Structure 1
Amino acid sequence: MDAVQIHCPKCGKGLRLKDRSKLGRKGKCPACGHGFLLQAPPEEEEVSLELAGDEAPVGTGAQWVPDEPAASALQASESSAVAIDTDPGPGIALDVSDGGVERLKEIKRRNARRQRTTLILGVLALLVVGGAGYALIPYLEDQPAPIPKEAEPAAPVAENTEPADVAAPSGAITRASLRSNVELVEQFEPTDGEPIRLLMVPSGANVVIHLRPAEIWSDEVAFQELRASLTADVVAWLEETLRTVCRREPKQIEEALITMMLGAIGTEPEVSTVVRLVEEEKMSDLIEEFGGQRINEGATTRIYVRDGETRVIADARTFAIAPESAASEIEEWITTSNYNVPTGIFELLDQTDRQRLATVLFEIDDVKRHEQELFSAEALPAMQHVIDWFGDDVETVSWSLHFAENFHSELFLRPRTRGAQKIVSAPVLAKTVEQKLADLPHIMQDDVIGRMSPSSRGYLRIIGRFPAMLEAFQMATVTRMGPTFVRLTTALPPQAAPNLALGALFTWDESRRTDYTAAAPPVLVAQGNGGAKLPDSVAERLRTVIVDTEFSRTPLQEAVGYLADELKVKLIINGDALKLSGYTQNMPQTFKLGKVPAVRSFHEILKQYDGKGKEADRMVIVVDEQKKQIELTTKGVADKEGKMPFDTSPE
């Protein structure tokens, strides 16, 4: 008997009924479980145009576009220094007479696909390179972490040989308490959304990117500052990327799911996109824009083929674009998440959250094999270092970033399960990654930044602090383990994130101009010290090194962190000592001294916290010449520990 194609009236999934004699009976959809009467589809009638309603199709997205781009509301310092090349490449001379119109269309489709691939991997590169800087802030040891909503204070631990983690008057939770009780980390989860699902996505995705552009491009001050810190050139490039791939302005896109299928080495990756809009659009407009040869007549979800693409209109807010080769299978994945992906991506997708601002998943080996096709010659060296940093023990990576009441970074690493000389467990991988994080600041300083010679003073100052930021990030990271993955979570205050995004971009941009084959230049010294060699002793540096001091509501830990960084010494903040005297590390510092010796800047800070007549509560600094470090503590705790406070009073 002839087979018949019917569709579920609830979910629209196409069902192939091999025996027509079963028509008239009740069946059940294997996708959604809906029971319905099996009926033959009505005879198809030829129609001239398919519209959602009887009204004439009219556009709803008209908008005024100025002849010149509007000036950015917020301009970061030296923003023009970082430039992104958005040129899709040299033009190709075409012989229209040879091969006809169809060959011309095929070449255009191939060029468009190549351009989309370059743009998408640019987003991936920015997430990996720029996102690292976005996460880094001057987060010193035992600094109070941001307080989650409705969080209960941690119970004190009895008979602990370490100093008790006494709650601060503000109820702050310290980094030490997070390390000793990782369950507290769950309280810092910024969102609780559903996992990312690969709906309307063809099989074989090796790279998955999920973004929430409307939130990132919102008018909230925090996001305006973040975009400004990325520089106008980078933001313009990102906007153009989203327009090209998603066919809409960033502010119109609630969610963008972008996947890449990496084929044979040397071939162009295939890009697919699923877009969910902030607001509904007229169905007639969507059909006019994405319609073509329909391949699933009668179904609720419309699937078309046109111009070398498979196009799906799920509803008035959701559409998808995939290669034409996906037309034969895309209907299977309308309501079912596509599970035909690498095992690592399939498993880590369950750990994702659609509410996070940005998420990227990828297979290490697949990206390595296709690095020549994925990255431009200019970006390739940096991306090779990023990928190589994960090492041979990591098979799959999932990284999410979120920016709300605090900054949240979460990195999932799945150990290699095949193709390696030695298969490691999650605990072994966790130790390896923690050691790599600890080594990263020194590698960055000695092998990367130590070889740079920035021509701009602004560049010099920001780039010179980048290793300290990496060390801060390492100290703020808590490691946990799942059955088949390692999970690294970082929760940080949001206020410094834009500045550090700028720092990451400046460091990456300067690395492109650095000749790493040449001899290393002299080590950078403190700003304002005339380029002279720093004194050996910390005490002498405090008295002789000139720093430019101007703070405006700068948190205490950032202010002293800046001074210590200018002196090129390690800073230790005794958080427990400060809390016992009623101090917090977020106390704002507002004063302007100009260019003065560092000791005077420290004195200006310390004199505000004199203990109000109680000598034990007076805030002091202690200098350790052997360790080349400065400790911020109180007079009472310093006396108990047998340490001598450093005299910062004017001579």
Structure 2
Amino acid sequence: MRGRHRLQGMTAPLPDKPTVRATKPRKNRQRNQLLVTLGVLLAMAVGLAAAFLMSGPAPPQAAGVRTPAENPQPERQSEPAELEEVVSDAGPELIDDDHRTLWESPTAGEPISLAYLPPGCELILHLRPAALLAKPEGERALRALGPQGLAVLKELMRAAGVKLRAIDELVIGLRPGQGGAQGGLEATLVITPTEPLAGAPGAWEPPPPYANLRTAQHEGAAYRVGAPWCCWVPDQEAGRVYVVAPRAALHEAIDAGGAAPPLRRELELLADQTDRDRHTTLLAAPSFLFTDGRSLFTGVTESLQSPVFDFLPDALRAASLSVHWADDFYLEARGASTAEVTATRLASQLKSRVTNWPNDLQLAVLDLNPAPHGRRLVAQLPAMLRLLGAYARTGVEDDAAVLNAYLPLPAGENLLAASELMLAQLSAGARGAAATTATAAPREVSIEQKLGQPASVSFSRDTLEMAVRYLADEIDAPVVILGSDLQLEGITKNQSFSMDATGQPAADVLLDILLKANPDRTAAGPGDPKQKLVYVVKPDDAGRPTIYITTRSSAEKRGDRLPDVFAATGSP
């Protein structure tokens, strides 16, 4: 029996054995200008989808949250009182968590209504702007989309004719335009305002800028004619819904009489499993992204095309991604495969592909030379994905492969901001900086002076290599790890640890990093001979003073002079 966790909040420690509810199988339920900027919003959704489907260094986490590495499987304990639930005989029964069962959804809404979309839509985006903007985290998430993402939102407001806060639900359907790929893409917007439109049947007053446009008729339905958008207020909706689309698409929606359009089988399967209470849901056929919809990968989104194409399994025929900000940040992805590949096998394929992706992304980040204002956030993107992977669960539900996860509430905006900054930097061609160095400041400041400057390096869990890079960025000085020296002692650059140093002298921060990364944790301090990791300051090949991280034995063999702090004091 398939069950799901019910997580109360990640500001408190995760319960060792959370309550899990088994769920009943769901019943089957029926159900130009904007396009360029919409591609940016799609990039955020696709980037986030690829990020968490590929799962997996950790951002600053909320107080009390324990990652699986810090919370090994304990013996079974009694359930916390706040997670207890009274379940009737007709409802789902509680089962013990096996640390693999899917998390329970924070919402339980009906499937998204696809009414008034024209046939042929292969990418559908559902948004709940008013509910999202009612939460501080939602406003920050929208700002995290960056300049181009905000341009998307402004274009949406122009097309809808109202502000985002006045929109309860917004459904955007994309389909190939007339003439296939050469005809571009065509968007249809179905808008549910927070307040019904004024008027009476046959005379509903559409929102500006459509109110003063001329009226046309199609199959007895009146609509306002504009360029490129036309607006139709269906009489049967009593002003609760209106549709904005190019004329041809609007005519097809009118012809359908408000019925949901036919979808390919796999999209239909996932559409029935959507939840209209979630803040954002993306539903798409992957093949559309690389055929008729490939124009979405232009400009800032171009760098996404290759990694997304490489990641998606050949058998994946439809995918959905939804996110929701509640007490925690929730993400869920679903996939439907061909008949030849079972949902279980598809879930296994997705899980196997997530393993190495954070490491691959980290290499890309190290090869990137981001702008100073976003350098640290971009550098922590792989860490965020590892935290995401730590909480992600995979399984099968309703014949679909499912991956879902809970994260601390600020994670959503941080993931979006880091993804947007990285995409912007990739689009600008910001590459070529050495991974372990930082450019020296124009004015002459000695290494010793820089090591005396205050520095702050904090993270919940990250590698020695990244910690050194954070410090190098903080003090604007070249810092190089001599990997071959570390290998001789069996020390790797990828070992992870946590750190919280704020406003301390950079030299002390560097020592703290070396102490935490030292293989022998019994070392009493930097002067203890058991402290193998040390640093030296000497010129590089170009004669520039550089901080080198090495081992005590290698430095002694080369005759390198160690800072006085490493003077041997003997073991206690």
TM-score range, shorter chain: 0.5 to 0.7
Distance 1:122 1:245, change over 3 A: farther
Deviation at 1:346, TM superposition (A): 0.9
**Aligned residue in 2 for 1:191:** 107
Partner of residue 476, structure 1:
391
Render the CA deviation track for 1:192-234: whole Å, top value 9, x for unaligned: 111012111111211111011123333x432333334334x24
Residue matched to 1:204:
120
Is the contact between residue 129 and residue 167 of structure 2 (CA under 8 Å) also seen in structure 1? yes
Query: 1:146-295 to 2 correspondence within 5 Å?
Result: 163-164=74-75, 180-183=98-101, 185-186=103-104, 189-218=105-134, 220-231=135-146, 233-234=147-148, 236-262=150-176, 264-283=180-199, 284-286=204-206, 288=211, 292-295=215-218
2:290 corresponding residue in structure 1: 368
1:390 is aligned to 2:312: yes
**Counterparts of 2:393 and 2:128, CA distance in 1:** 26
Secondary structure (helix, strand or coil) at the match of 1:196 reads: coil
The equivalent residue for 1:607 is none
Report if the CA contact (8 A) 2:267-2:285 is conserved.
yes
1:195 counterpart letter in structure 2: P
Matched, 1:120 2:43: no
Q: 1:265 aligns to what SS in structure 2?
A: helix
Is the CA contact 2:108–2:275 (under 8 Å) kept in the aligned structure 1?
Answer: yes
Q: How does 1:507-546 map to 2 (within 5 A)?
A: 507-514=422-429, 522-524=434-436
What is the deviation of 1:352? Answer: 0.7
Matches within 5 A, 1:245-644: 245-262=159-176, 264-283=180-199, 284-286=204-206, 288=211, 292-295=215-218, 297=220, 303-304=222-223, 306-307=225-226, 309=230, 311-313=232-234, 314-326=237-249, 329-331=252-254, 333-334=256-257, 336-338=259-261, 340-377=262-299, 379-417=301-339, 423-446=340-363, 448-454=364-370, 456-514=371-429, 522-524=434-436, 550=456, 558-559=459-460, 561=462, 565-567=466-468, 569-571=494-496, 592-598=503-509, 625=519
What secondary structure is seen at the aligned counterpart in 2 of 1:275? Answer: strand
The answer to whether the Cα contact below 8 Å between 2:322 and 2:333 also exists between their aligned partners in 1 is yes
Query: Considering only CA atoms, is the larger Rg found in Structure 1 or Structure 2?
Result: 1
Gaps of 5+ in 2: 1-29, 67-71, 85-94, 442-449, 469-492, 528-564, 566-572
Q: Is the contact between residue 133 and residue 500 of structure 1 (CA under 8 Å) also seen in structure 2?
A: no
Shift of the 318–289 alpha-carbon distance from structure 1 to 2, 3 Å rule, reads farther
* Aligned-residue offset at 1:115: 1.6
Task: Assess if the C-alpha contact under 8 Å between 2:278 and 2:324 holds in 1.
Answer: yes
**Structure 2 contact 378–418 (Cα < 8 Å) conserved:** yes
* Alpha-carbon distance change, 237 to 562 in structure 1, aligned in 2, over 3 angstroms: farther
- Report the identity percentage: 19
> Take 1:126 and 1:380, find their aligned partners in 2: how far apart are those partners?
12
Q: Counterparts of 1:565 and 1:204 in 2: how far apart (Å)? A: 46
**CA distance in structure 1 between the partners assigned to 2:161 and 2:369 by the alignment:** 41
Do the aligned residues in 2 keep the contact of 1:209 with 1:259 (CA within 8 Å)? Answer: yes
Q: Given the superposition, is the C-alpha separation of residues 272 and 415 from structure 1 closer, same or farther in structure 2, using an over 3 Å criterion?
A: same
Tell me: CA distance 1:329–1:644, structure 2 relative to 1, closer, same or farther (3 Å). Answer: closer
Does the residue aligned with 2:428 lie in a helix, a strand or coil? coil
Count, aligned residues: 438
Structure 2 CA distance for partners of 1:523 and 1:649, relative to 1, 3 Å: closer
Output the amino acid matched with 1:275: I
Q: Given that residues 140 and 475 in structure 1 are in contact (C-alpha distance below 8 angstroms), is that contact kept between their aligned partners in structure 2?
A: no
Tell me, what secondary structure is at the counterpart of 2:356? helix
User: Aligned equivalents of 1:526 and 1:476: distance in 2?
Assistant: 33
Is the 2:334–2:403 contact (alpha carbons within 8 Å) kept by the matching residues of 1?
Answer: yes
CA contact (8 A) 2:303 2:423 kept: no
Cα distance change of structure 1 residues 121 and 303 upon mapping to structure 2, 3 Å threshold? farther
The 1-side partners of 2:350 and 2:51 are apart by 18
Displacement of 1:144 in angstroms is: 7.0
Please tell me the residue identity of whatever aligns with 1:236. Answer: L
Distance 2:346 2:392 in 1: 15
User: How far has the Cα of 1:425 moved from its partner?
Assistant: 2.2
Q: CA offset at residue 649 of structure 1?
A: 9.0
1:648–1:475 distance in 2 versus 1, CA, 3 Å:
farther
- Contact 2:48 2:415 (8 Å CA) reproduced: no
